A = this chain, B = another copy of it.
Amino acid sequence: ISSGEPLSALCTPALVVDVDKVKRNAQRMMERCHQLGVQLRPHMKTHKTLECADIMTGGSRRCIVVSTLAEATFYADHGFADILYAYPLPFDKVERCAALSERLDLFQVLLDHPDALERLRKRPLKGGRRWHADGVELTGVYAHCGNTYNCKGVEQIQAVAQETTSFTLQFMEKLKAVGISCKSSIGSTPSCSHPVSDMGKLSEVHPGNYVFYDVQQSMIGSCGLEDVAVRVLTRVVGHCPHRNQLLVDCGWMGISLDGAGKLPTGYAIIEGHPDLKLLSMTQEHGRVEPISGPLDYSKYPIGSLLTLIPYHSCAAAAMHPVYHVHSEGRLMGKWTPTRGW
């Protein structure tokens, strides 16, 4: 596939990324954080690519969050620093964490158990490095406000954002009262898409999904459906009139099983076809049927293209070894995510 070709030149299933929407989503989050006066530390787990990390950090290659050590290593290998590994310190990976700490300007790990502190003390860093100060020192407090994912609408999102912010700030006060001064970070795409002013009193926020968004985020109210930057392209590969269904070439290998039972249209929204739903996928096949009434097969000849808006872009992207990037429907290149742990 050459650059400039239309999306229809792709073999399906294919995950496509609208780079203009990615840039717009990233730019808006940077502006929002700038206005709040809070440092943005974008999470990489949704896309796991170099290109998207550059867009999210405005090219600085500093101050990111990752969900796996594979991501941490991948970004470190490409010159990123100030990487926060947002995971309770895994005891099988202390040596790998130490190696990253010895190698990077700044590598941050999370602790939530006294045993984890012991593990760090038992593995002092080499080369004059320290797990911050003498032995181990607290750098900051990290919270997620994952309960924003149960919200519907801006009002509910902001209520949770306010609650999490207030709890975190109160906790910072308590720490200060016993002589500990440190950073604070909360995250989640819903709360950072609709921040409350108190979030400006935090040191950092760490959303991630916002760069792609998805149907789930649009249902929560984080974004409009027009902000969703990813699609899974699929083609009709069969007509099944005895079941009133189309067979398409996107199964759970192409979009994941995330979203089961969450949408009236099944595992995704089929763009431009609100009357259709995607249900009961196998590994490489999806079954599409009308929400009601008989299917007009003449509208969907074998080989015709359908465009799926994923329920959960993190899960859909995780199924694809490569993403196809376009601007206004013209292919520009590929992004290759890292994988594994």
Q: Which residues of A come within 8 Å of B, CB atoms?
A: 10-14, 45, 67-69, 87-88, 90-93, 96, 112-113, 115-116, 146, 235, 237-239, 247, 249, 252-254, 256-258, 260, 282-284, 301-303, 314-315, 318-322, 339-341
Contacts and interface: CB of A to CB of B under 8 A. Distances in A.
Contacts of A45: 283-284
A253 B318 CA distance: 8
A144 to B, nearest CB: 10
Contacts of A14: 341
Contacts of A67: 283-284
A303 B249 contact: no
Nearest to A89: B237
Contacts of A115: 301-303
B302 A235 contact: no
A113 B241 CA distance: 12
B314 A340 contact: no
B303 A237 contact: no
B237 A284 contact: no
Q: Taking each of A92, A113, A315, which has the highest tally of chain B beta carbons within 10 Å of its own beta carbon?
A: A92
A86 to B, nearest CB: 9
A341 B12 CA distance: 8
Contacts of A320: 340
Contacts of A302: 91, 113, 115-116
A256 B257 CA distance: 8
B340 A87 contact: no
A112 B238 contact: yes
User: Which 9 interchain pairs have the tightest Cβ spacing?
Assistant: A91-B303, A257-B257, A321-B340, A321-B339, A88-B237, A11-B92, A67-B284, A88-B238, A115-B302
Nearest to A318: B253
A235 B92 contact: yes
Nearest to A144: B282
B12 A284 contact: no
A315 B260 CA distance: 15
Contacts of A283: 45, 67, 314-315, 318
A258 to B, nearest CB: 6
15 contacts: A11-B341, A12-B90, A12-B92, A68-B284, A87-B237, A88-B247, A90-B237, A90-B303, A112-B238, A115-B301, A253-B318, A256-B257, A318-B319, A320-B340, A321-B340
Given A12-B90, A67-B283, 6 more contacts: A45-B284, A90-B237, A146-B282, A252-B256, A318-B319, A321-B340
Nearest to A256: B257
B249 A90 contact: yes
Given A252-B315, A260-B257, A339-B321, A284 B87 contact: yes
